Amino acid sequence: MADKEYVVRGACLECSQGSHPRKLNLPKCHGVYITGHPMIHKYDSVPIENISPFGMCSILQAPCVPATLSGWVNTHDRTLLTDNDTRIPHPVVTTDSFLVCTVGGIIEPKTSGQEPRDVIHEIVERT
């Protein structure tokens, strides 16, 4: 994992077809933290719950409604995070991971979320 970082709650996400970046949400923490921030796993990819709308969708020319059907792709399979509800271990998400929206966009972390909160806030507010 040389240049990639683990993605945590609050990471800045960007959709290739959306007009605005958004922060990754994690309503219920899995109990594992890195640099004081809750880590996420492959299936923390639920639209609205984890993935907020990215403003306007350039494909539909309408407000974005994230439509992710599967989990994060290109996860770090050697580091597993156990889901509190199911007790099933899942690979963790890194800055190399991405989601595919069924509308046609690719959702990627713009930051890991481990940065100071004011840096992430500035990135989201600036765009």
How remote is the C-alpha of 28 from its chain's centroid?
Answer: 14
Which pTM does this prediction carry? 0.87
Residue extents of the structural domains in the chain: 12-126
Distances (CA, A) of 71 to 5, 86, 98: 18, 16, 9
* pLDDT value at residue 1: 46
- Residue whose pair of structure tokens reads 């007790």 in the numeric block: 87
Cα-only R_g, the chain: 14
Which has the higher per-residue pLDDT, 4 or 106?
106
Q: Is the Cα torsion angle 85, 31, 1, 114 positive or negative in sign? A: positive
Structure-block tokens of residue 126: 């600036």
Q: What is the 3-state secondary structure (H, E, C) of 16-39?
A: CCECCCEECCCCCCCCCEECCEEE
Q: Write out pLDDT tens, residues 83-109.
A: 777 788 999 999 999 999 999 999 999
CB 111 within 8 A of CB 22: no
CB 30 within 8 A of CB 8: no
* pLDDT value at residue 125: 58
| pLDDT higher than threshold 60 for residue 119 | no
Q: Write out pLDDT tens, residues 27-85.
A: 988 889 999 999 999 999 999 999 999 999 999 999 999 999 889 999 999 999 987 77
Q: Which residues contact 9 (CB under 8 A, 6 or more apart)?
A: 24, 25, 26, 29, 37, 38, 40, 113
